[in-house]
Structures are given as structure tokens and as C-alpha cells.
Amino acid sequence: MTAPEPMSAQLQTFLQQAATRVEGQIELALGQTTTGAETLFAAMRYGALGPGKRLRPALVYACAQTLRGADFEPERCDAAAAALECIHAYSLVHDDLPAMDDDDLRRGRPTCHIEFDEASAILAGDALQTQAFELLLASAGAPELKLRLLAELAEAAGSRGMVAGQAIDLDSVAKTLDLARLEAMHRLKTGALIRASARIGALLGGASETQLAAISRYAEAIGLAFQVQDDILDVIADTATLGKTQGADAARNKPTYVSLLGLDGAREKLQDLHRQAIDALAQLPGDSGLLQQLADYIVQRSH
């Protein structure tokens, strides 16, 4: 495999701008605390504003920009981008809880339930989830479009999307999932929100149904690629630091792409998904260079 290319300056600037916008929106939304619930707000801010990549918001902006071209207005995407990040943050806060993955570290810092306490982390996750829908509801835009965005987000986040994936994942410990079932789980657990980020951006960009379908194919491919690269990075990190060659999930007795396909097989899978994502972009009008660079970044990222 060739050495990873450094991220292009254009993508770096774009990701920084997206992160700044979305963090500003979340700061604003969580700025006014409810009297007596200051710890809740502190835990929400801690969960949502820690040093993350803000990939889902970036996808919202990038898809809207690709479809709108010169008419792109990022402010029309701010609420949706923040909503996606709030759902993502809630999922991480809850995923780290003792009843789920029981992790002490997230984004290089103590997890929310370690920094605060378990009850505060549960409530912060709950409230971040609701905050996402409040953000979308309060955003400007035609009611029909808002309803569509709300439906996309609810379906992707809930029991037909991310939460279902998490349930299947928790149930898979010590079981032998085959590749098809592992993939079905990841399509829900991480893929559904990535797909919704892209579709919501596309809808804000005025996508036709054909364009929406192409964006969905692109997002499904990069969503899975994101997970495959996560499994690969997990093994590489473990090999470097502990001399082990299985990765944290496999050590927890969870199946991974690397445990099912081997490291080389997982790398081939990653390249195949990258190709599928780039092929889907060919169906879009105008310049899809930014989305191509995002796909490149997802398969080449080192953290």
C-alpha cells in the first residue's frame, strides 16, 4: 500500500471552517444554562465540544456546497451540522458508559462519566439527543424541508439506524458474526449517521432524487470505509504500543474487519469501498473535488 498523502490544503481549510462554524453553533445552543442544571450543561459541553474531527458536520457542508456550487450559503447548513454533531456526541458519551463499552478515555481525555459521574453522562447524552432536534426545529427554512430533515435524522439515529446497530454490536460479543452480518451492523451503527449527514447536506443543497441516491451511495461507501479504517488503525495502534496484533475490539471478543479478513484483506476492502465512493460521485453535476478529497481522507486518516 502506498504511503498516506498529506491532507490537501483545500480540505484542511474546509474542515477547519466547518469545525469552527459547528462549534460556534453548539456553544450558542448550550450557552444559556437552566438554573440548577449547571452540571448537566457542563457535561453536555464536555461531551459535544471535546477535540473531535467534526466529520459529520463537514459532510453536511460539503454535500450542500457540491450541489449548490457558487450559490452555497454555509449559514443555511449550520443548524443541521450542529444537530448531527450533537447526535454523534450523545452516541459517544453513551457508548463509553460502564453498561456499554466501559471506556475511560475518549478524544484523549477522561470520558464524560469519568470526568463527571455516570448519571450526569446519561443525562448529558439524553439532552444532546433532544438538543439535535431542537436545533433543526429552530432553524430557518421551508417547513417541508425541515420536516424531511427531521425525518432523516430521526430514522438514522433511532431503532432503525444507529441505536439498532449499537444493540446488534452489544449482542455480538463472543459471537461469530460473518462478514455480511458485521457489515449490516456497521451500516447501522456508524453508517446510518454518516449517510444522514450527507443526505441532509444534499437536501439543503437542493438535490434531486437522482442526486440524493448518488450521494447516498457515496456516503454508504465512505461510512463503511470509515469503519474498516477504524479497525485497521486499532490493530496498528495495538501493534505499535503493546506488541499485540488484534486491536481493542477483537481483544473485547468483538468481530472486526481485520479479524475476519486479515490486515491485507481489510486494506483491499478499504480500497474497494473508496473506489465505490468515487464512482458514485461521477453521477453528480459540477465539481465534486471536495467530496473526493473527503473520501481520500477517510481511507488515509491516521486517527
| Residue with smaller CB distance to ligand GRG, 105 or 147 | 105
Binds ligand GRG (CB under 6 A): choice among 23, 115, 126, 230: 230
Binding mask 181-200 for ligand GRG (x = CB under 6 A): --------xx----------
Asked if 83 touches ligand GRG (CB under 6 A), the answer is no
Q: Is 246 exposed, middle or buried (0-12, 13-18, 19+ CB in 10 A)?
A: middle
Q: How far, in Å, CA of 4 to CA of 2, rounded? A: 6
Binds ligand GRG (CB under 6 A): choice among 52, 161, 191, 205: 52
Size of the site for ligand GRG (CB under 6 A): 17
C-beta of residue 226 within 8 angstroms of C-beta of residue 294: no
| Residue with smaller CB distance to ligand GRG, 20 or 210 | 20
In whole angstroms, how close is the CB of 135 to ligand GRG at the nearest point? 17
C-beta of residue 263 within 8 angstroms of C-beta of residue 237: no
In whole angstroms, how close is the CB of 134 to ligand GRG at the nearest point? 19
C-beta of residue 45 within 8 angstroms of C-beta of residue 30: yes
Asked if 53 touches ligand GRG (CB under 6 A), the answer is yes
Q: How many CB atoms lie within 10 A of CB 123?
A: 17
The residue written with cell numbers 450543561 in the block is 41
| Residue with smaller CB distance to ligand GRG, 95 or 220 | 95
In whole angstroms, how close is the CB of 207 to ligand GRG at the nearest point? 23
In whole angstroms, how close is the CB of 43 to ligand GRG at the nearest point? 15
Residue 151, all three cell numbers: 425525518
Q: Pick the piece of the chain touching ligand GRG (CB under 6 A) from 50-58, 145-153, 173-181, 237-245.
A: 50-58
Q: Pick the piece of the chain touching ligand GRG (CB under 6 A) from 30-38, 84-92, 200-208, 212-220.
A: 84-92
Report the chain's C-alpha Rg in angstroms.
19
Q: How far, in Å, CA of 100 to CA of 253, rounded? A: 14
96 φ, ψ (degrees, to nearest 5):
-80, -10
E-strand ranges in 86-141 read: 105-106, 109-110
Binding site for ligand GRG (CB under 6 A): 52-53, 55, 88, 91-92, 94-95, 100, 107, 162-163, 166, 189-190, 227, 230
